[in-house]
């Protein structure tokens, strides 16, 4: 048996089979990627064919295809991709002149990080949330590191949520005037750190009031009652009071009326009777005058109370279903009639009031007329007395000798 395997015929068959299997082995090895190489978009990228220093002819493939982007191959077998774009990404493999795989590598393209656009929200005195947006789309996976500190304090971590791109700080030093946040973005092509400075008391902005409710006030056609709850994110303590602004207007009007209050509920006294109204509420820290107003609560629609009147049943029927005139051949109503009250008690009260008014008027007349007569008599008597004195004086003067 050993002699048979060592015979020239068997050796020839084994050599032929091994030579015919080279391409299939090379095809399998193309899926074995040695690593990932990163490159800058819109620049030249060089891919080496392994670590071998032997200058042998090589053939490059991209994703098992011989079609390559704009390129050149150096004398040592390295592939130089010129001014690469996104389409140049993929798995590059180099083979020798017999089709044997020499090296395979994955190419990813992108940009280094740039400065971040950072904004911070302060919904209460115990919590800060800062979010960021990239100014440069890197197209590469990145890592972030964020820290926060008050003026003159040590750096403390800002707890990251990379998926939502924000970080949180609990119980910041609110009494500090200036605070600083730094965020570092790092990817395979570099890193960039962004600093932002701000004042917490100026960024303090509560969330909108919750459970806002508006309803009519029965019996009052010009009043509405509005109630709400504190934002759930705001601590319910006397140390952090809130002031609320309520605005309202008839639907269709461009002018708002406003009310300020520290407690719920609030009564609106000047609603427009019979009209649908829009109502909204927002909140602000009462102590910190530099803080911001919250966003307005969702718009509510409410109508003031209205008197309910029962319509005439005949009016509710369609015209065709009302009783025609020929059902009543005789006139059942007098030619002239006086409207009467449907409430006899009210009618009696109105008659009694009229009688009392007439009596009072008669009494006034009876008192006033004699008084006027007496006054005129007194004035006439005084005039007669004066005239008599004047005549007496004239007689005396005539009787005196000249």
Those residues with Cβ within 8 angstroms of residue 303's Cβ, 6 or more apart along the chain or in another chain: 216, 274, 275, 276, 277
Question: Which ranges in 141-187 belong to alpha helices (H)?
Answer: none
Which has the closest alpha carbon to 84: 113, 109, 48, 112?
109
Q: What is the DSSP letter of 295?
A: P
Q: What is the pLDDT of residue 75?
A: 79
Residue-wise pLDDT tens for the chain (402 aa)? 444 444 554 444 444 444 443 333 333 333 456 689 999 999 999 998 877 555 678 889 888 887 788 888 887 888 899 999 998 999 999 888 888 888 899 999 999 999 999 999 999 999 999 999 999 999 999 999 999 998 888 899 999 999 999 999 998 888 888 999 999 999 999 999 999 999 999 999 999 999 999 999 998 999 999 999 999 999 888 888 999 999 999 999 999 999 999 999 999 999 999 899 999 999 999 998 899 999 999 999 999 998 766 555 554 545 444 434 433 333 333 333 333 333 433 444 556 777 788 888 888 888 888 888 888 888 887 777 767 666 666 656 555 554
Find the distance separating the first CA and the last CA of the chain, reported in whole Å: 203
Q: What is the DSSP letter of 274?
A: T
Q: What is the pLDDT of residue 134?
A: 92
DSSP letter for each residue of 297-339: PPPEEE-------PPPHHHHS-GGGSPPGGG--S--S-SS---
Q: What is the pLDDT of residue 16?
A: 43
Which has the closest alpha carbon to 109: 78, 86, 141?
86
Q: What is the DSSP letter of 175?
A: T
Q: What is the pLDDT of residue 379?
A: 81
Q: What is the pLDDT of residue 21?
A: 39
What does each C-alpha distance from 190 to 106, 115, 124 come to in angstroms? 19, 12, 36
Q: What is the pLDDT of residue 10?
A: 45
Q: What is the pLDDT of residues 243-293, one digit of tens each?
A: 999 999 999 999 999 999 999 999 999 999 989 999 999 999 999 889 999
DSSP letter for each residue of 178-198: -EEEEEEEEETTEEEEEEEEE
Q: What is the pLDDT of residue 195?
A: 95
- Going across the sheet that includes 277-285, the strands are 257-261, 242-250, 277-285, 300-302
Q: What is the pLDDT of residue 254?
A: 93
Q: Cα(273)–Cα(269) distance, rounded to whole angstroms?
A: 11
Beta strands in 4-70 (DSSP E): 36-40, 45-47, 59-62
Q: Which domains are delineated in the chain?
A: 35-110 (2.60.40.10), 116-202 (2.60.40.10), 210-302 (2.60.40.10)
Do the Cβ atoms of 192 and 113 come closer than 8 Å?
yes
Residue 221, helix vs strand vs coil = coil
Which has the closest alpha carbon to 93: 79, 109, 75, 110?
79
Those residues with Cβ within 8 angstroms of residue 172's Cβ, 6 or more apart along the chain or in another chain: 126, 128, 148, 150, 179, 200
């Amino acid at each position: 048996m050993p002699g048979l395997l060592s015979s020239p015929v068997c050796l020839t068959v084994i050599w032929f089979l091994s030579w015919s299997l080279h391409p299939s082995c090379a095809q399998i090895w193309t899926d074995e990627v040695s690593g990932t190489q990163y490159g800058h978009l819109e620049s030249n990228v060089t891919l080496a064919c392994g670590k071998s220093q032997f200058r042998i002819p090589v053939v490059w493939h991209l994703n098992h295809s011989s079609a390559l982007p704009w390129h050149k191959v150096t004398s040592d077998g390295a592939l130089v991709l010129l001014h690469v774009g996104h389409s140049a990404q993929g798995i590059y493999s180099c083979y020798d002149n017999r089709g044997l795989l020499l090296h395979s590598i994955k190419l990813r393209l992108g940009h280094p990080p740039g400065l971040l656009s950072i904004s911070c929200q302060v919904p209460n005195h115990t919590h800060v949330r800062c979010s960021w947006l990239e100014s440069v789309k890197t197209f590469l996976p990145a890592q972030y590191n964020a820290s926060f500190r008050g003026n003159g304090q040590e750096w403390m971590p800002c707890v990251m949520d990379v998926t939502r791109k924000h970080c949180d700080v609990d119980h910041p030093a609110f009494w500090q005037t200036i605070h600083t946040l730094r965020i570092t973005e790092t990817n395979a092509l570099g890193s960039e750190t962004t600093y932002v400075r701000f004042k917490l008391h100026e960024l303090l902005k509560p969330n909108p009031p919750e459970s806002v409710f508006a309803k009519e006030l029965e019996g009052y056609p010009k009043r509405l009652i509005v109630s709400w709850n504190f934002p759930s994110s705001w601590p319910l303590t006397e140390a952090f009071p809130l002031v609320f602004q309520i605005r309202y207007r008839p639907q269709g009007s461009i002018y708002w009326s406003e009310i300020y209050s520290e407690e719920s509920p609030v009564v609106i006294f000047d609603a427009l009777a019979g009209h649908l109204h829009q109502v909204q509420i927002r909140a602000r820290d009462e102590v910190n005058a530099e803080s911001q107003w919250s966003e307005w609560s969702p718009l509510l629609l409410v109508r003031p109370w209205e008197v309910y009147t029962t319509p005439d049943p005949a009016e509710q029927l369609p015209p065709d279903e009302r009783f025609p005139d020929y059902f009543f051949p005789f006139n059942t109503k007098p030619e002239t009639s006086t409207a009467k009250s449907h409430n006899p008690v009210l009618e009696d009260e109105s008659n009694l009031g009229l009688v009392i008014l007439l009596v009072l008027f008669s009494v006034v007349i009876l008192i006033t007329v004699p008084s006027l007569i007496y006054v005129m008599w007194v004035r006439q008597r005084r005039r007669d007395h004066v005239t008599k004195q004047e005549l007496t004086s004239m007689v005396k003067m005539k009787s005196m000798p000249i």
